[in-house]
Amino acid sequence: MTRDGADLTLRHPVERFTLDNGLRVVLAPDRSVPVVAVSVFYDVGMRSEPEGRTGFAHLFEHMMFQGSANVPKMEHARLVQAAGGMFNGSTHLDYTNYFQALPSEALERALFLEADRMAAPAITEENLRNQIDVVKEEIRVNVLNRPYGAFPWLQLPPVAFESFANTHDGYGSFVDLESSTVEDAEDFFSRYYAPSNAVLCLGGDLDTAETERLVRRWFDVVPARPAPPTPHTGEPSPTSVRRGVVEDPLIPTPAVAVGWRVPDPVGDFDTYLGTVLLAELLSEGDASRLELRLVHGDRVAVAQSSYLGLFGDPFDVRDATMLVTQVHHPAEVPADRVLDAVFEEVARVATDGVGAEELVRVQARTSAQLLRQADSVLGRTLAFAAAELVHGRAELAGELAARLAAVTPEQVQQAARGLDPGTAAVLELRTIGGRR
Amino acid sequence: MSVPVLDTTLVPALGEPRPQPVPEAHDTTLPSGLRLVVVPRPGVPLVELRLRVPFAAASARAAAAHVARSAVLAGAVLLGTARHDQVEIAQLLQAQGAELGVSVDPDRLTFSTTLLPSGLAPVLGVLAELLTAATYPAGPVEGERARVAERIAIARSQPGVIARSALASRRYGLHPYGQQLPRTELVGSVSSAALRKLHRERVLPAGSTLVLVGDLDPAAALDAVGAALGGWTATGTDVPVLAVPQPVPGPLELVDRPGAVQSNIRLGGPAPARTDPELPAVRLAAMVFGGYFSSRLVENIRERKGYSYSPRSAIDHLAGGASFLVEADVATEVTGPALLETTYELGRMALTTVTEAELDAARRYVLGTTALATATHAGLASTLSALLGAGLQPGWLAEHQRALGAVTVEEVTQAARRWFAPARLTGVVVGDAGRVADALHVLGPVQVTATAEPEPGA
């Protein structure tokens, strides 16, 4: 290691307390800029959806912006934006989050808005029908009308996994979305949006004592409900190769994705860190193994990438999850030629290991990227919140750079040994009709 | 539940704003003509680097070849120098936590990266090598040409790219801005010699700007830049950007994309430049119209009618002329109604007045989100680089914010009247002509064109 690991620890103090209704609260103050971030993470994601209700977690996320007991439709946006702030929400495999970044004088307003919809979002027939239409447009713009739009995040899981939780389309089928009812939404809210199933994480320009007072003022009144059990998303490890082919009439050139099951990102965190650096070693940047081999050496790829978790964040998912390598390749290059080269490069790490000098370079780049994310109050706050929800420890987000800097070449080699071509899931995305 | 009414007494009032820290910009011009702006900033231990080199096509006649060569050069400049091959360059950067991204747009060539503070001198050293001694080796360049051609084919399959290209072509005609994507056959014939010539003639310190933001000492950074880039002394003629042509009103262009489940509506027209005193009013008018979630367009065609996921409008600044742009991707079956509502909202902006509340909300949002966007090393570096590249001073941002604060309702109304009138805008729709043409014809003249087929042999 070239750097003292301690230098890479983000020294933001983290304070936490829990309200009587079970809401976990994390404060990560840093007063260097007059900006606060407010986030609420609910422990419900695409993998929580029951059969027949694909896409419901995401549809419900939209419903949370339709107003609430004391906030008319459109007013959530107006109250945040007219205060000079921005807002959004996003639905992930294992959680759904809502967040604002605002000038610090708007902190209490954001707390009011989040508490009001935690207590009573405006679930009406009119709002539901409107947002089903909006979500369908979102799916059209991002998937149905977009070449490569489902590749590979919606196309690889059915090949790689077995359970409904892991294989179904988390954006949702139009049939399921259109048949959703107000009662479904009320049930979903009642079951999953309990304060005891959520983390409220605040970052930035906070006075902790005053902030705790404000949090209690607005959130203490949200009635307690029992939290649902965490959905079971783990699966037995695969024992064979699984392959799938999808033909896409919109795409001009083919692509292929390969997914390997990896260690439990929460329960087996230390081993998992080796896998995280393996993904970086394989694909991050111009000096990475697969960039040099596939793109520049063999010239069998136009672009390549490897990452953990279908959404690209290695630290915000639970088991089961994958290391995914995806490659866009010219039509005249067969997918198997690409795959052979990928498997060879993984085998080279598994057999020959990684030089200490190469790993230090990879760690330098990884540290820089983690620090860059942490430079924004919002980016930092979301990372703390995800770490609290998924790992039970917000502090972990601040320690990641140092933890990754301490990973040894042997751990990376061990991780590569886990990427067995005999248990990989492969998805080929092919063009149709010989049209490039 | 009953529809709630906003009880304003319940909504917490905003507290007293705390002043934003004002970045301290150290502005120097080196003997070579390179302008250096260094901004030390508290925050994470990183430095952000942006180098912008003016790179517009010299003439309309030369534009097609220039666009093709530029597209290859952006990747090929990293393929080797007199001292290091491509792998060594990548590794030297990676060791400092860096990775140079090189991109071209119609105005300029940009080198950008994050780096660890201890890596400033080595990264500047690599940058200097690329600027003064890139070799464009024939074999690797051949590979880069093939990749660029494949990437163009992929880009041309994206409806958003098809729509943007069609609108640019309609608005700019033969001006270089009319050609957004290089032609594949021209990319295929870009030689190493042509790249070296383009580099020699156009990658010049005069007119270029280097921005460094983050965990650094200004004096040491100046020394490091002087030491590393002192040898970048190439001289040549600055190439002025051609002014864009005056828009010619015409029928709506419908680019046929058979089977498309969505239509991409794009409207565009001129807008005031960054230096124009009317810009603040136009920016705020564009916000009220469709610039953010609380806007009229989003409320109408998303939150009331469900036609579109992300309708939007923005002011876009290119050196040759700024644009007012409106974009909405809508379901095929509501293409006509969505264009009708969009046109209605534009007409409403142009003919009636905005409210004080709408103006105040837009103003606070622009000021607040500008502060958020410049509250990171990366955000501040990119913002400063854009401003300097446009010939502005680092202090422009503060002046512009003051100007935004003074805009009145009357000024917004006048600005909308002048710039947003639907009759002044050029329109393009990409969609299934067989299903949307009839409805669009109801609203005005329509000219249908075929989608360019993907080029064979890419």
Q: Model confidence over B23-41: pLDDT tens digits?
A: 899 999 999 999 999 999 9
State yes or no: pLDDT of A436 exceeds 70.
no
Of B18, B87, B98, nearest to A104 by CB-CB distance is: B18
The rounded distance, in Å, linking the Cα atoms of A99 and A88 is 6
Of A34, A138, A360, nearest to B309 by CB-CB distance is: A138
User: What is the DSSP code (8-state) at residue B226?
Assistant: H
Touching check for A217 and chain B: CB below 8 Å?
A: no
The CATH number of the domain covering residues in B26-229: 3.30.830.10
Strands (DSSP E) found in B76-153:
101-104, 108-115
Q: In this predicted structure, what is the pLDDT of residue A202?
A: 98
What pairing do the DSSP bridges indicate for beta strands A35-42 and B47-54? Answer: unpaired
What is chain A's length?
Answer: 436
Contact B154 A250 (CB under 8 A): no
Contact A79 B11 (CB under 8 A): yes
Q: In this predicted structure, what is the pLDDT of residue A109?
A: 97
The rounded distance, in Å, linking the Cα atoms of B37 and B28 is 6
Which DSSP string do the residues of A359-373 spell out, in sequence order? HHHHHHHHHHHHHHH
Name every chain A residue with its beta carbon within 8 A of the beta carbon of B43.
Answer: 32, 375
Q: In this predicted structure, what is the pLDDT of residue B20?
A: 79
Which of residues 235 through 294 in chain A touch B, CB cutoff 8 A? 249-253, 285-287, 292
In this structure, the number of other CB atoms found within 10 A of the CB of residue A53 comes to 21
Of A34, A299, A377, nearest to B20 by CB-CB distance is: A34
Of A103, A144, A285, nearest to B99 by CB-CB distance is: A285
Contact B306 A137 (CB under 8 A): yes
Work out the minimum CA distance from A370 to partner chain B, whole angstroms.
10
Touching check for A371 and chain B: CB below 8 Å?
A: yes
Q: pLDDT band for B454, please (50, 70, 90 cuts).
A: very low
Contact B376 A105 (CB under 8 A): no
Touching check for A133 and chain B: CB below 8 Å?
A: yes
Distance of CA A253 to the CA centre of its chain: 27
Q: What is the pLDDT of residues B293-309, one digit of tens each?
A: 999 999 999 999 999 99
Could you tell me the two tokens for B144? 């880069």
Q: In this predicted structure, what is the pLDDT of residue B455?
A: 41
User: What is the DSSP code (8-state) at residue B353?
Assistant: P
* B40, β-bridge pairs: B214
Which of residues 3 through 62 in chain A touch B, CB cutoff 8 A? 7, 10, 32-35
Contact B94 A285 (CB under 8 A): yes
Could you tell me the two tokens for B102? 């090189």
The pTM is what? 0.95
Contact A124 B1 (CB under 8 A): yes
State which residue of chain A sits closest to B98, comparing Cα positions. Answer: A365
Contact A105 B371 (CB under 8 A): no
Contact B93 A75 (CB under 8 A): no
Q: In this predicted structure, what is the pLDDT of residue B451?
A: 77
Q: What percentage of chain B has pLDDT greater than the value 90?
A: 88
Q: What is the pLDDT of residues B280-296, one digit of tens each?
A: 999 999 999 999 999 99
Q: Which whole number is the average pLDDT over A1-24?
A: 73
The rounded distance, in Å, linking the Cα atoms of B66 and B49 is 26
* Domains of chain A, start order: 12-219 (3.30.830.10), 242-430 (3.30.830.10)
One-letter amino acid for residue B430 of the chain: V
Cβ–Cβ under 8 Å, residues B372 and A35: yes
Cβ–Cβ under 8 Å, residues A110 and A38: yes
Q: pLDDT band for A11, please (50, 70, 90 cuts).
A: low
- Show Cβ contacts of residue B83 under 8 Å, excluding neighbours closer than 6 positions: B129, B133
- Show Cβ contacts of residue A266 under 8 Å, excluding neighbours closer than 6 positions: A318, A319, A390, A391
Q: Which whole number is the average pLDDT over A41-68?
A: 97
Of B4, B13, B365, nearest to A122 by CB-CB distance is: B4
> Dmax over Cα atoms in chain A, in whole Å?
66
State yes or no: pLDDT of A9 exceeds 70.
no
The rounded distance, in Å, linking the Cα atoms of B370 and B387 is 13
Can you give the residue ranges of every domain in chain B?
Answer: 26-229, 252-450
End-to-end CA distance of chain A: 47
Work out the minimum CA distance from A71 to partner chain B, whole angstroms.
6
Q: pLDDT band for B9, please (50, 70, 90 cuts).
A: confident
Could you tell me the two tokens for A138? 């979102």
Distances (CA, A) of A5 to A310, A404, B134, B243: 29, 9, 36, 53
One-letter amino acid for residue B19 of the chain: P
Q: What is the pLDDT of residues A202-216, one digit of tens each?
A: 999 999 999 999 999
The rounded distance, in Å, linking the Cα atoms of A357 and A323 is 24
The rounded distance, in Å, linking the Cα atoms of B329 and A138 is 9
Touching check for B408 and chain A: CB below 8 Å?
A: no
CA-wise closest residue to A154 among A305, A311, A276, A43: A311
Touching check for B402 and chain A: CB below 8 Å?
A: no
Touching check for A298 and chain B: CB below 8 Å?
A: no
Strand order in the sheet with A255-261: A242-247, A425-430, A255-261, A322-328, A303-308
Contact B18 A101 (CB under 8 A): no
Q: What is the pLDDT of residues A331-372, one digit of tens each?
A: 999 999 999 999 999 999 999 999 999 999 999 999 999 999
State which residue of chain A sits closest to B20, comparing Cα positions. Answer: A34
Touching check for A413 and chain B: CB below 8 Å?
A: no
Could you tell me the two tokens for A285? 């940047």
ipTM over 0.90: yes
Contact B369 A84 (CB under 8 A): yes
Of B99, B156, B368, nearest to A102 by CB-CB distance is: B368
Contact A372 B18 (CB under 8 A): no
Q: In this predicted structure, what is the pLDDT of residue A432?
A: 87
**CATH architecture classification, B252-450:** 2-Layer Sandwich (3.30)
Work out the minimum CA distance from A266 to partner chain B, whole angstroms.
27
Q: In this predicted structure, what is the pLDDT of residue A14?
A: 92
